[in-house]
């Protein structure tokens, strides 16, 4: 009887491991395929159909074309600006709001909270938002991708929840020492909230990294395009003119076969390399977000 059960359990373990291994492989395979194709030579890729677990031949031509391409580098530069400036600015604004909302004994807190939370339920829509940003005169600047998106309400609520867990006694003793609200936020609360600040920086960075939709609408000047917009031209609109310029005409179709893969690798690998090290912060972020009062 006992032996039977342990056999059952072991069978369950093996099945579980097997199922998860399959899930993992299916999840990972698209990336493997892309990486392997990107290192292959164009002629073999054009002739090949089916799965790919190692490069067919070996050719770095696609990478040379990608790294020489000024638009990719420019896209990276613009995206880097959006991430660094944008995330810091957003975290600053978000912490101001979160601080206010985590206060006790403030008369208009409820009113302001309502004003903010209401926007999670109702919005004027895409068109009035566009017309508004346009009227303000932000279109065709990178600020159009930062200022109208200063605060993500959901992130601010997460931050408020984290601030509210800091013991009041710390704040009270700071007040006795003559601290005002600015001192309390920047000298007491923020230093004690580094984990949530890290989470917020990450969340906002991911948002800025992924943003393409409003960029495609607000920006006309190509030198301002963030990376995702360049990627969209290459991957979705299939515009390889950007990429094959400057290569020999005879090589173009061969490079075209692998270049999209190389573009994907160049645009994805940095993030995928950094993220396992930050995984625990992301998980923390989701967990704080899940806390309800």
Partner 1 sequence: MEETAVATKPRETIGTLKKSSYWNVVVKDFSRNKYAYLMVLPVVVFYIVFHYVPMFGATIAFRDFSPARGIWGSPWVGLTNFIEFFQSAYFWRLLRNGVLLNVYDIIFGFPAPIILALLINELKNKFYKRVTQTVVFMPHFISLVVVAGLIREFTAIDGIANYVVEFFGGERTPMLQRAGLFRSIFVSSLIWQSMGWGSIIYLAALSGIDPQLHEAATLDGCGRLKRIWYINIPGIMPTIVILLILRMGNMVNVGFERVILLYNPITFETADVIASFVFRRGLLEFDWSYSAAVGLFNSAVNFSLLVMANWLSRRVNETSLW
Site for partner 1 in 52-91 (CB under 8 A): none
- Is residue 22 part of the contact set for partner 1 (CB under 8 A)? no
Binding residue for partner 1, selected from 127, 194, 249, 250, defined by CB under 8 A: 127
**What minimum distance in Å lies between the beta carbon of 64 and partner 1?**
20
> Which residue, 3 or 5, has its beta carbon nearer to partner 1?
5
Residue labelled with tokens 């923390």 = 284
Q: For residue 131, what are the contacts with CB-CB under 8 A and spacing of at least 6?
A: none
Dist. CA 84–CA 228, nearest whole Å: 16
Distances (CA, A) of 244 to 35, 132, 238, 239, 252: 20, 39, 12, 10, 6
Task: Calculate the alpha carbon distances from 83 to 9, 99, 157, 275 in Å.
Answer: 48, 23, 21, 15
| CA atoms 68, 73, 75, 79: torsion sign | positive
Instruction: Tell me, by CB under 8 A, how many residues bind partner 1.
Output: 90
Determine the interface stretch with partner 1 among 9-17, 59-67, 192-200, 248-256 (rule: CB under 8 A). Answer: 9-17
Q: Which of 67, 88, 170, 286 binds partner 1 (CB under 8 A)?
A: 286
Which of 3, 105, 221, 248: binder of partner 1 (CB under 8 A)? Answer: 105
Residue 82 beta carbon to partner 1: minimum distance, rounded to whole angstroms: 13
- Spatial CB neighbours of 227, under 8 Å, sequence gap ≥ 6: 72, 75, 76, 78, 79, 267
The minimum distance between CB 134 and partner 1, in angstroms, equals 9
Could you tell me where the beta strands, DSSP code E, fall in the chain? none
The CB-of-193 to partner 1 minimum distance in angstroms stands at 15
Q: Which of 14, 58, 84, 275 binds partner 1 (CB under 8 A)?
A: 275
Report CA torsion sign: 243, 228, 269, 28.
negative
Asked if 169 interacts with partner 1 (CB under 8 A), we say no
Burial of 204 by CB count in 10 Å (0-12 exposed, 13-18 middle, 19+ buried)? buried
Segment lying near partner 1 (by CB under 8 A), choices 53-61, 175-183, 190-198, 248-256 = 175-183
Smaller CB distance to partner 1: residue 28 or 249?
28
Cβ-based nearer residue to partner 1, 15 or 248 = 15
- The alpha carbon torsion through 88, 89, 95, 101 (nearest 10 deg) reads -160
Task: Kindly state whether residue 140 participates in binding partner 1, applying the rule CB under 8 A.
Answer: no
Do residues 267 and 178 make contact, with C-beta atoms less than 8 angstroms apart?
no
Kindly list the distances between the CA atom of residue 177 and the CA atoms of 103, 156, 173, in Å, as whole numbers in the listed order: 19, 29, 6
Smallest distance, Å, CB 72 to partner 1? Answer: 13
Indicate whether 217 belongs to the interface with partner 1 (CB under 8 A).
Answer: yes
Q: Quick one: which segment of 68-76, 158-166, 229-237, 242-250 binds partner 1 (CB under 8 A)?
A: 229-237
Establish if 34 lies at the interface with partner 1 (CB under 8 A). Answer: yes
């Amino acid at each position: 009887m006992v032996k039977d059960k342990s056999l059952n359990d072991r069978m369950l373990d093996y099945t579980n491991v097997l199922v998860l291994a399959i899930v993992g492989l299916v999840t990972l395979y698209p990336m493997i395929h892309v990486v392997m194709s990107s290192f292959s030579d164009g002629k073999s890729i054009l002739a090949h159909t089916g799965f790919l677990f190692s490069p067919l031949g070996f050719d770095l031509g696609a990478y040379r074309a990608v790294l020489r391409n000024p638009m990719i580098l420019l896209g990276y530069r613009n995206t880097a600006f959006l991430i660094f400036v944008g995330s810091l600015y957003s975290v600053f604004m978000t912490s101001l709001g979160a601080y206010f909302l985590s206060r006790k004994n403030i008369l208009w807190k409820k009113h302001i909270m309502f004003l903010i939370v209401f926007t999670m339920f109702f919005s004027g829509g895409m068109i009035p938002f566009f017309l508004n940003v346009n009227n303000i005169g932000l279109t065709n600047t990178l600020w159009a991708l930062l200022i109208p998106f200063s605060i993500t309400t959901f992130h601010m609520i997460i931050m408020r929840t984290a601030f509210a867990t800091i013991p009041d006694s710390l704040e009270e003793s700071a007040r006795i020492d003559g601290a005002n609200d600015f001192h309390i936020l920047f000298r007491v609360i923020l230093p004690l909230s580094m984990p949530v600040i890290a989470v917020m920086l990450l969340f906002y960075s991911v948002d800025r990294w992924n943003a393409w939709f409003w960029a495609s609408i607000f920006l006309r000047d190509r030198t301002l395009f963030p990376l995702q917009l360049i990627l969209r031209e290459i991957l979705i609109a299939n515009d390889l003119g950007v990429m094959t310029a400057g290569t020999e005409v005879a090589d173009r179709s061969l490079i075209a076969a692998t270049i999209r893969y190389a573009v994907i690798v160049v645009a994805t690998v940095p993030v995928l390399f950094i993220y396992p090290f930050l995984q625990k912060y992301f998980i923390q972020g989701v967990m704080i977000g899940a806390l309800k009062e």
